[in-house]
Amino acid sequence: MQITVISPESDDPREVRILEGFLAEGLEHYHVRKPGWDEGRTEAWLRDLPVTWRPRLVLHGHAGLAAKLGLGGSHAKDAGDEASNAAIARSCHDLAALQRRLGRYRALFFGPVFPSLTKAGYAPAPDFPWDKLQAVLTQRPSQSQTRVFAVGGITGAGLPRCHKLGFDGVAVLGAVWTSPDPSGAFLTLRDAAAALGAVRHAA
């Protein structure tokens, strides 16, 4: 299983220093999600980062900046973003949307899988059909080009369940950024996820 990290939603003076450590430790993609920032502020922040980091940054919103700055891609939010050539990822919150978008993106975020650590009241529906989700994820062809990441309340304790359900990885925010040691939290999650191994899909 793989770990993807989502940025803090607002200013965090630790972020750039800690992100440097994440990337040095092999983090493949870092999702920059700053919903309260306008395009100008977002661009200025991105331009202050080392250019060598850009291929591993995926931007939520302001899709045009991803191509303009040579980022790793954008995470589509609406139809306009979805039409962008830079869109490599998308979030899904129901099975129909997940099935419809498989094969169209390199990565899909699906959740919430657990109660959120950062958003009060954001949790999976009590009657969510986990067996059907597991069937969708584990019966994908092995050559599927879309990796599906679990989101929402992800902690080390939840990794085995995410693996059993058939997720290719997890996207974390609260488990890292609410920790007094975000770097240590990331390494612990990364190693625990790696120990679970890759998810096997149908041939």
Query: What pLDDT digit, counting tens, does each position of 83-130 carry?
Result: 567 899 999 999 999 999 999 999 999 999 999 988 888 899 999 999
Check if the beta carbon of residue 131 is closer than 8 Å to that of residue 173.
Answer: no
Strand partners, 107: 89, 147
Q: What is the pLDDT of residues 8-52, one digit of tens each?
A: 999 999 999 999 999 999 999 999 999 999 999 999 999 999 999
pLDDT attached to residue 101: 93
Helix ranges, the chain (H): 15-24, 39-47, 63-69, 79-82, 95-101, 130-138, 159-165, 174-177, 182-196
Mean pLDDT of 148-175: 96
Residue 179: Cβ-neighbour burial (10 angstroms; 0-12, 13-18, 19+) = middle
Q: Which pLDDT band, with edges at 50, 70 and 90, does 154 fall under?
A: very high
* Average pLDDT of span 176-193: 96
User: Which pLDDT does position 119 carry in this prediction?
Assistant: 87
Task: Give the contacts of 104 (CB within 8 A, at least 6 positions apart).
Answer: 90, 146
Confidence of residue 203 (pLDDT cuts 50, 70, 90): low
Percentages (nearest 5) of helix, strand, coil residues in the chain: 40, 20, 40
**In the chain, pLDDT over 70 holds for what percent of residues?**
96
Number of neighbouring beta carbons within 10 Å of residue 125? 9
Band (143; pLDDT cuts 50, 70, 90): low
Domain 2-196 has CATH 3.40.50.300: no
Indicate the pTM of the whole model: 0.93
Residue ranges of domains in the chain? 2-196
CA dist 88 to 33, 40, 94, 114, 167, Å?
15, 22, 19, 24, 18
79 pLDDT tier (thresholds 50, 70, 90): low
Calculate what percentage of the chain has a pLDDT beyond 90.
Answer: 83
Cα–Cα distance between 157 and 154 in angstroms, integer? 8
